[in-house]
Amino acid sequence: MDKQIIKTVIGEKQQQISNIGLQQRANYFDDNSCYVLVGIRRAGKSYTLYQDMRAKLSAGKAKAEDFLYINFEDERLASIQADELGLLLDAYWEMNDNQKPFIYLDEIQNITGWEKFARRLSEDKYRVMITGSNAKMLSREIASTLGGSYIQRNIYPFSFKEYLNYYNVLLEKNWAFRPEERLAVVRHFNRYFYQGGFAESFNKTDKREWLTSLYQKILMGDIVERNRIRNPRIFRLLARKLAESIMQPTSQKRLEHIIKSTGESISPSVLKDYLDYMEDAYLIFSIPNLTSPLSEQQTIVKRYFADNGILNLFLMDGKTKLLENIVAIHLNKLYHNTAEELRLFYYNKGVEVDFCIPEEKIAIQVSHSIDDVNTYEREVGGLIKFLKTFKQYQGVIITWETERQLTENGISIEVVPIWKWLLRGI
């Protein structure tokens, strides 16, 4: 790898740091800790690095030349190998006097074997922040190589609160009781609900075109090319079928039959790999059944998309699916499931409850409206049966616009509009 190219890249980024426009997000990073930031492509990982650098500049803790920032998606660095990563420091030292720069390595998953270099940096007491768009960066093997010296942070597309902040809708206490503020929130939510939280799309004239392009990059770059898939058509088909199956627990066996019914052929092992690839790229995430045995918790699950804007690409009239998906997104941010710890579930044993959070003792049902008698009996009745069994839980029903307190058989259930619930949290 030509060291002069590395110097050019480092110098360009040092010049750009002060000029990049940023929307502040509520992220805190310790100056003495190293971090791995992961999440779906374009969620804001790179901007989070810039935000950290700008915070140091503003606080007088660093100058622009104190930063070593490398984006490994820069085509000029396409040929760099893991055993050449030490050239980054050599190039920096030839340009700058600081022997301990703040190091930012963006989309480093493109370099096979990067983790050994990252561990050496932390052992040498550098402050390092790393980003990547693939969950395999945090596999047990890599975590072991890193030696526990890095803290994981998941970066997501904008929440609804961040979306409002972007548009300078700043809510004061008791805003929900002021008609103008309430209407402003609802108006912005109607756009956020369908278009999602990718900040880069907010100022685009054709948001759908931008989202379609993003989905293609995730599909082809983060899934097909990275995993050397020969038939991307099956991935497109699988994504569409997953979108159609939002809200429904789906086994891999059922997905296999659905795909085969279209004339395509896929084996159970390949299907499992394909689903894993989608989760690895943060395109989808899954939630297990609270009552399932451990052997089934990874096979019969409810799957959701990481952003409503991407899910909406697949739907014609998907308001109900989008409603449950946006609740799942918010809960996933708060109670992200990992291989080591499951915190977010659905419940399906005699009755169905959309979401259960055992550590908070909260059960959530999602329904566009409960005005229809049959819907009321299904959604409210199912939740009441659950709450009779799990007496320590609180019940919540999230709707499009209904807000009231229900009491049935001595059991109280809060009914809250989605736009209000998203701003309040749980």
pLDDT tens, 313-338? 999 989 999 999 999 999 999 999 98
**Total length of the chain:** 426
The fraction of the chain above a pLDDT of 70, given in percent, is 99
Q: How far apart are CA 211 and CA 278, in angstroms?
A: 17
Give the model's confidence band at 425: pLDDT under 50 very low, under 70 low, under 90 confident, else very high.
Answer: low
- The distance of Cα 63 from the centroid of its chain, to the nearest Å, equals 32
Instruction: Choose the CATH number for 204-329 among 1.20.1050.10, 3.40.50.300, 1.10.10.10, 3.40.710.10.
Output: 1.10.10.10
Give the model's confidence band at 183: pLDDT under 50 very low, under 70 low, under 90 confident, else very high.
Answer: very high
Whether 88 contacts 128, CB under 8 Å: no
The pLDDT tens digits of the residues spanning 52-108 come to 999 999 999 999 999 999 999 999 999 999 999 999 999 999 999 888 999 999 999
Fold observed for domain 3-154: Rossmann fold (3.40.50)
- Mean per-residue pLDDT, 179-199: 96
Predicted pLDDT at 146: 86
Strands 67-71 and 102-106: parallel
Tokens of 335: 């109670």
The fraction of the chain above a pLDDT of 90, given in percent, is 81
Predicted pLDDT at 390: 95
Q: How far apart are CA 328 and CA 398, in angstroms?
A: 12
- Report angle CA 82, 85, 87 to the nearest 5 degrees: 145
Strands 128-132 and 34-38: parallel
Q: How far apart are CA 38 and CA 245, in angstroms?
A: 26
Mean pLDDT comparison of 63-72, 130-139, 224-233, highest-scoring range = 63-72
Whether 303 contacts 242, CB under 8 Å: yes
Which residues, 6 or more positions from 171, have their beta carbon under 8 angstroms from its beta carbon?
164, 181, 185, 423
Task: Please count the helices (runs of H) and the strands (runs of E) in the chain.
Answer: 15, 14
Helix axes 179-195, 319-334, angle to 10 degrees: 100
411, pLDDT greater than 70 = yes
Instruction: Tell which residue, 325, 253, 251, 322, has the closest CA to residue 284.
Output: 325
Predicted pLDDT at 28: 87
- Mean per-residue pLDDT, 142-148: 80
What's this model's pTM, rounded to 2 decimal places? 0.94
Tokens of 76: 């000029």
Say whether 161 sits in a helix, a strand or coil. helix
Beta carbons within 10 angstroms of residue 134's beta carbon: 20
Beta carbons within 10 angstroms of residue 31's beta carbon: 12
The pLDDT tens digits of the residues spanning 16-35 come to 988 877 777 888 899 999 99
Q: How far apart are CA 137 and CA 363, in angstroms?
A: 33
- Report angle CA 66, 127, 334 to the nearest 5 degrees: 120
135, pLDDT greater than 70 = yes
Whether 338 contacts 313, CB under 8 Å: no
- Mean per-residue pLDDT, 2-24: 89
Beta carbons within 10 angstroms of residue 303's beta carbon: 22
Whether 285 contacts 306, CB under 8 Å: yes
Which residues, 6 or more positions from 242, have their beta carbon under 8 angstroms from its beta carbon?
250, 255, 278, 284, 303, 305
Predicted pLDDT at 242: 96
- Mean per-residue pLDDT, 45-52: 94
- Mean per-residue pLDDT, 173-201: 94
Predicted pLDDT at 221: 87
Predicted pLDDT at 290: 94
The pLDDT tens digits of the residues spanning 335-393 come to 999 888 999 999 999 999 999 999 999 999 999 999 999 999 999 999 999 999 999 99
The pLDDT tens digits of the residues spanning 252-310 come to 999 999 999 999 889 999 999 999 999 999 999 999 999 877 777 777 899 999 999 99
Q: How is the chain split into domains, by residue range?
A: 3-154, 204-329, 350-424
- Mean per-residue pLDDT, 114-141: 89
